[in-house]
Amino acid sequence: MSRSAVMREAAGIALSILMVVGVSCLIYLALLFFRMEHVMLLYLVPVLVAALRWGTLPAVTAAIAGIAAAAFLFYPPIYDLRVSNPDQIVDLVLFVIVAVVTGQLGVIARKAKMRAESENLREALIGSVSHELSSPLASIVGSASVLAQSPAIRQDNQLSGLVAVIRKESERLNGDIQNLLDATKITHEGIRPKWQWVDPEDIVNGAFARKRERAVERHVVFAVADDLPLVYTDPTLVESALGQLIENALKYSPPHTPITISAEQDDGRIAIRIRDEGVGLTRDETDRIFVRFYRSPRHAGNVTGSGLGLWITRSLIAACGGTVEASSAGPQQGTTMTLKLPIKSQPGRDEGEDD
Residue 224 pLDDT exceeds 80? yes
Domain presence at residue 217: yes
Domain presence at residue 118: yes
Per cent of the chain over pLDDT 70 is 85
Tabulate helix, strand, coil % of the chain (nearest 5): 60, 10, 30
Domain presence at residue 91: yes
- Boundary-marking domain end, from 190, 217, 235: 190
Q: Do 209 and 165 sit in the same domain of this protein? A: no
- Asked if 261 and 206 touch (Cβ cutoff 8 Å), the reply is no
Domain range holding 33?
1-190
Max Cα–Cα distance, the chain, nearest Å: 100
Q: Do 214 and 289 sit in the same domain of this protein? A: yes
Mean pLDDT of the chain: 82
pLDDT in tens, 23-44: 889 888 888 888 776 777 788 8
| CATH number of the domain to which 209 belongs | 3.30.565.10
> In the structure, what pLDDT confidence band is assigned to residue 353 with cuts at 50, 70 and 90?
very low
DSSP assignment of 299-311: TTTTS---S-HHH
Q: Do 92 and 221 sit in the same domain of this protein? A: no
Q: Do 248 and 274 sit in the same domain of this protein? A: yes
pLDDT in tens, 115-155: 776 666 566 666 666 566 667 777 887 888 888 788 878 88
Q: Do 56 and 171 sit in the same domain of this protein? A: yes
- Boundary-marking domain end, from 161, 190, 219: 190
- Asked if 277 and 221 touch (Cβ cutoff 8 Å), the reply is no
Helices and strands per DSSP (H, E), number in the chain: 10, 7
pLDDT in tens, 287-339: 999 988 888 888 877 777 778 889 889 999 999 999 999 999 999 999 999 99
Residue 84 pLDDT exceeds 80? no
Q: Do 202 and 133 sit in the same domain of this protein? A: no
Pairing of strands 196-198, 269-276: unpaired
Q: Do 164 and 215 sit in the same domain of this protein? A: no
Domain presence at residue 8: yes
Domain presence at residue 354: no
Return the SS3 of 197: strand
Domain count, the chain: 2
Q: Do 213 and 314 sit in the same domain of this protein? A: yes
pLDDT in tens, 171-210: 777 776 776 667 667 766 678 889 999 999 999 999 999 8
Q: Do 185 and 201 sit in the same domain of this protein? A: no
